[in-house]
Structure formats: structure tokens, C-alpha cells
Structure 1
């Protein structure tokens, strides 16, 4: 229950960070307000998930719809935090897992809202991840370095081939993720993210929500690919190797 409540509270903060940092607005002031009518929100309107349900997804003042991103991120954090604890346990790696989830959710909010992943977010998490991997190193120890290199070069190569098919923020995000995951897992994560992004893009086109060749936020696909690779990467790689050798 502790991780669920912590996830809900931090999920609300991730929403604020993902929306305010790209606009270079303070995370402390001004108070949270409706983005349409600018009416400051009361305490009861700031309760994660529950406020959205009680208000039926609409502002109490202007009755405009509230983005589903708010409760989605809060609920995702509330589910992913305890899930990470169950998967990783109470060891030091749990801190890395929770930080990884936090980065991905903030990047998700920024990308789906503004189509940008702020350098300020990446610059905050990068030294934290580097310090974490110095204390809890991967095996081999240099895998964080090669992981960062692979995380940068793979999307850069893709961008060169597709002539801009991936944004600069995504490239830098993969580099930061490489520090946490290492070379082997970041390669898997890149291809999982690309596959997921393809499915999301084709689905959006089929539903009429997106036109062909129109850009769309890649962070949701990176989030899914990264968490899949982080928690299940080794079994997936072993399965792939066995299939290739069969």
C-alpha cells in the first residue's frame, strides 16, 4: 500500500513536472489551475485519480474536459511502483527502477503534451543514474558506458536513414536509458520501442487520429519498450537465442 500511495502522489507531481518544465515554469508556484479558465484548483480537486472520477473528467468551473493524461499517469505510477518492488525486491536496484519509472512518466507527459522531451529533465536524471550505477554497477561494469553509446548511436543512425524519423529528445533519452540498462538491454529496448511505436502509429492512422508521415510522440512507445526490456529483457533475449538455435 505504501508504494501505491507514493505512486499516486508522485504521479500527480510527474504531471506537473512534465507540463511545467517545458514551459520553464516553477514547479512550486503558481498553484495548479485549470488550463482553460485558469481557476486555481482546490485541495479536493487535486486528489489523484479520485478527483477526476468525482468530477467526471470535467473542470468544476468551466466544465471543460480534463485531459485523460492526468489520471492515467497517476494510476500508472500507482501500479508501476509496487510492481517494481515485487519484481526487484528491496535491494538497491529498486531505487534505480523507481527513478527509471519516474523519468519515463515525466517524459511521457512532456511528449504527449508538447511533443518535446526537455533537456532539463534528462540533465537532472543523468548524473543520478551515473551515481546509481557507480554504487550498483552492471555486469560488466563498463556496460553503462557502452549502453549510453549504443543508446545514442542507434537512434541517430535511424534518424539518418529515415531522414528525421526520430526526434533529438528521443535520441538523448535513449542515451540516458543506456546508462541504466547497459548495452545488451538498450539494444533490445530500442527495437521493442520501435515496434511498439509502429503499432501505435498504424493504429492511430487506421482510426483517423493521425495522417501518414505526420509526427507523433514517441515517448509512450519508449515507456512500454523500456519497462518491458528492464523487467523481462533477459528472459526475452534467452528465448530469442533458443529460437535461433533450434
Structure 2
């Protein structure tokens, strides 16, 4: 049983990390430093004081507005902070107060950052995915369910499988249907979740991406040329596998027998 004060401490830590992820999501695609300058209002550029930068709480106290100019601040900032804090608590209860919980939270944080950058800009920055491959290969050593051999195969299966799909699609249609960022992302994820996780992620992301993509296209009156980023679906598949993969695979195998 994890004491309640520990849960709140981990939640607050996750909220603070979420605040930092907001900075990364905004600045990394612009090739700006994530360290300096400090955070400022997007409208009036006034530096944000520390007491106005407390995750979620400051947003609620200021009613979602800048203290200096009164301009409305996007609700997405506290939402990402809350999402990251939630994943910190989920990692704590799923893996206990351990090194495994910490590395899983790092993995979740990377996926959150990539998801929102891809939604905003339709890109997955190499500065995250490429260093992430060796980083998560090393961090996978702290995960007892994934061997280093499975991690290495995950890198090959993740990057290679999507590269093959993209190559076949381009050969058949003459058009690029999948960006290189998705390929590198799945390679990064494969380094942490192994080849089995890669297979699950591809199945999950293809299924959910098809359903949601078709629903959006129908709502847009059949616009079949609508571009939908694939990175968020890959990220969701990796997170679901990390938390529930073994149970879902066991349920599926039991169902088909």
C-alpha cells in the first residue's frame, strides 16, 4: 500500500514535469532553447513570476488569464500538466515506488511531448526520437519484463516494419504515406517495449487510427485527403501496451482458443 503523502508528492512532481513538457512542446519545433529565457505570456511577453507558474493551481487562481495583460491562456497548458501528473501516479501504482516506475514515467513523458508536437506541427523531431533510441534501450534494462535482446529486436522491428510499409505504399501509389518521423518514433518505442510491444502497437494504432480517421473524414463530408498525424496513435498504443499489454494479449489468446 502506497502512503497517500507519497501519492500526492509524486502527483506534484508529475505536474511540474508536465509544466516543463509544455515548454518542450512549444519550443522544440521552433529550435529554441528549452532552458532560457524563462516562461512568458504568449501575448504580452511578460515573464511569468514563479507564483503564477505553479502547475494547474496558478491557472485556476488566475482563471486562465495572464496577470499582466488579462489575455486568456490556453486550457491545454494545465491539461498537459494534469495528464503528465496522472501518468506519474499511474506509473507509481502500476510499478510501485521503484526504478521501473521512474523509467516508465520518462517513457510516458516522451510520448506526451511527441504526441502534442505531432498534433501541432505534423512532425516528430529527430532531437527527441533519435537520442531516444539508445536512451530507452539503456532504460529498458531497468524493466524486468523486457530483455536486452527483445529491446534490440524491438528497435529493428519498430523502425524496419514501418519503413517497409512506407516503402510499399510509395511504390504502389507514388506518394509518401508515412513520414520518417513515425518510423524513428516506433524504433524508439521498440527499444523500450521490445518486439512484442511493437507488434501490439502497430495493431492498436492501425485499428484506432482507422476508426478515428474514418470518423473524422465522414464528419468532414468525405474529405479523403485529410491529413491525420499517426504519431499520437503510435504513442497511445505504446502506452496501452506498457500498462495493459500482457492482460490484453492473454485475453485475446483465450478468446480465440
Is the structural similarity TM-score above 0.5? Answer: yes
1:173-206 per-residue CA deviation (whole Å, 9 max, x = no partner) reads: 1001001101111110121122222233234334
1:89-110 per-residue CA deviation (whole Å, 9 max, x = no partner) reads: 2333212211111111111232
How far apart are 1:25 and its partner, in Å? 0.9
Of residues 106, 118, 140, the one that matches 1:111 is: 118
Of residues 167, 170, 179, the one that matches 2:179 is: 167
Matches of 1:65 and 1:208 in 2, distance apart? 29
Matches of 2:177 and 2:216 in 1, distance apart? 17
Matches of 1:102 and 1:129 in 2, distance apart? 12
Superposition RMSD in Å: 2.4
Matches of 2:78 and 2:219 in 1, distance apart? 23
Q: Name 1:96's counterpart in structure 2.
A: 103
Asked whether the equivalents of residues 5 and 78 of structure 1 are also in contact (C-alpha less than 8 Å), the reply is yes
Q: Name 2:201's counterpart in structure 1.
A: 189
Distance verdict in 2 for CA 1:106–1:57, change over 3 Å: same
Asked whether the equivalents of residues 150 and 183 of structure 1 are also in contact (C-alpha less than 8 Å), the reply is yes
How far apart are 1:65 and its partner, in Å? 4.3
Asked if 1:20 corresponds to 2:30, the answer is no
Counting matched residue pairs gives: 245
Show the 5 A alignment for 1:44-55. 44-55=51-62
How far apart are 1:42 and its partner, in Å? 2.9
Q: Name 1:179's counterpart in structure 2.
A: 191
Matches of 1:64 and 1:200 in 2, distance apart? 33
Distance verdict in 2 for CA 1:99–1:53, change over 3 Å: same
How far apart are 1:139 and its partner, in Å? 4.8
Of residues 71, 81, 91, the one that matches 1:84 is: 91
Structure 1 portions without partners, runs of 5+: none
Q: Name 1:33's counterpart in structure 2.
A: 40
Of residues 148, 156, 159, the one that matches 1:149 is: 156
How far apart are 1:134 and its partner, in Å? 3.9
Of residues 49, 67, 83, the one that matches 1:42 is: 49
Asked whether the equivalents of residues 138 and 144 of structure 1 are also in contact (C-alpha less than 8 Å), the reply is no
Asked whether the equivalents of residues 7 and 78 of structure 1 are also in contact (C-alpha less than 8 Å), the reply is yes
How far apart are 1:53 and its partner, in Å? 3.1
Q: Name 1:71's counterpart in structure 2.
A: 78
Distance verdict in 2 for CA 1:176–1:56, change over 3 Å: same
Q: Name 1:232's counterpart in structure 2.
A: 244
Matches of 1:243 and 1:224 in 2, distance apart? 23
Asked whether the equivalents of residues 147 and 181 of structure 1 are also in contact (C-alpha less than 8 Å), the reply is yes
How far apart are 1:209 and its partner, in Å? 10
Specify the structure having the higher radius of gyration (Cα).
2
